[in-house]
Chains A and B, each alone.
Chain A
Amino acid sequence: MSEDRVNCREALEQLQDYLHQEASPELARKIERHLEVCAPCLHHAQFERNFQALLGATAAEIRCPDALRQRIRDALERES
């Protein structure tokens, strides 16, 4: 229980939560210690991180159209 790092199975199970800043500080430290010494898990962490970057970049390309933005401003003006 009080071990200072996790094994590969635990690391991979918790990796996504860790990368999304959803792991507890204690668990995050354990995962970091594991990644320092485990090349396959580190490689997998890089894979997950890059995959998230692809999703994020795809989302960032889509913006609310200016015409809709204006339509909403006009509607709010009428509303108030």
Chain B
Amino acid sequence: MTTSTSGERATFEQEALAQLDTLYRAALRFTNDPSRAEDLVQDTMLRAFRAWKSYRAGSNARAWLLTILRNTFINDYRRARREPVAMDLDVAESLALPESARDMDPEGEFFSRIVDQKVLDAVDSLPPDFREVLVLSDMEGLAYADIAAMLEIPVGTVKSRLFRARRQLQRMLYDHAVEMGYITPRAGSGSEAS
């Protein structure tokens, strides 16, 4: 290994590994399958590393990596989204709460992890075009302009998809959000999300 490639890897790791949580979350929502999500993230990181020279330092690494992830998903993974895949033990283990977290006895936290599956299920049930913009914006914090560039659609289309995606989610999750204490229903009005 030459000095320059090891330096390259160091800067890549510094910038790109910091985005792994984001990439994994997006991959989970795209593939709807933990095992395929892991493969997608690994493929994405290897492709990104090979293309690292084309990344402009100081630009938005998160948006750059998510673009590669999305392209990889569309080219290599999308057709298989509905494929039923048996969960293997490694994956089941990685989904379980870490021992340390359980030892600290956060019973409430464990509970909240389970019920928040409702939020994820609602996101997963959105039409793909809506789900995509919602995940990129509201879960991963990309700016509208970055999403528009990534999807090659006008910013106005991003806005209208987001507006409708959020409305649909709010309808699906209104009762859950009240139950979780995130919103307080207005007295005499249950039509907030309609």
Using a CB–CB cutoff of 8 Å, the interface residues on chain A facing chain B are 16-17, 20, 22, 43-44, 46-48, 50-59, 61-65, 67-69, 71-73, 75-77, 79-80
Cβ-defined contact, A79 with B94, below 8 A: no
- Chain B residues with Cβ under 8 A from A68's Cβ? 20, 24, 38, 41-42, 94
The answer to whether residues A61 and B182 also contact, given A17-B159, A22-B143 and a CB cut-off of 8 A, is no
Cβ-defined contact, B94 with A65, below 8 A: yes
Q: Report if B25 contacts A (CB, 8 A).
A: yes
Q: Report if B150 contacts A (CB, 8 A).
A: no
Cβ-defined contact, A58 with B1, below 8 A: no
Give the contact-size bracket for chain B.
35 or more
Give the docked Cα–Cα distance between A46 and B42 (Å).
39
Specify the chain A residue showing the minimal Cβ separation from B45: A72
Q: Report if B17 contacts A (CB, 8 A).
A: yes
Specify the chain B residue showing the minimal Cβ separation from A13: B163
Looking at chain B's contact residues, is the secondary structure mostly helix, strand, loop, or mixed?
helix
The answer to whether residues A62 and B163 also contact, given A54-B119, A71-B42, A80-B6 and a CB cut-off of 8 A, is no
The answer to whether residues A69 and B17 also contact, given A47-B192, A58-B116, A76-B9 and a CB cut-off of 8 A, is yes
Q: Report if B120 contacts A (CB, 8 A).
A: yes
The contact sample of 26 A-B pairs, CB cut-off 8 A, is A17-B159, A22-B159, A44-B192, A51-B170, A54-B119, A55-B169, A57-B116, A59-B139, A62-B24, A63-B21, A64-B20, A64-B24, A64-B41, A65-B24, A67-B90, A68-B20, A68-B24, A68-B38, A68-B41, A69-B17, A72-B45, A75-B45, A76-B45, A80-B1, A80-B6, A80-B9
The answer to whether residues A22 and B138 also contact, given A72-B45, A79-B46 and a CB cut-off of 8 A, is no
Cβ-defined contact, B28 with A62, below 8 A: yes
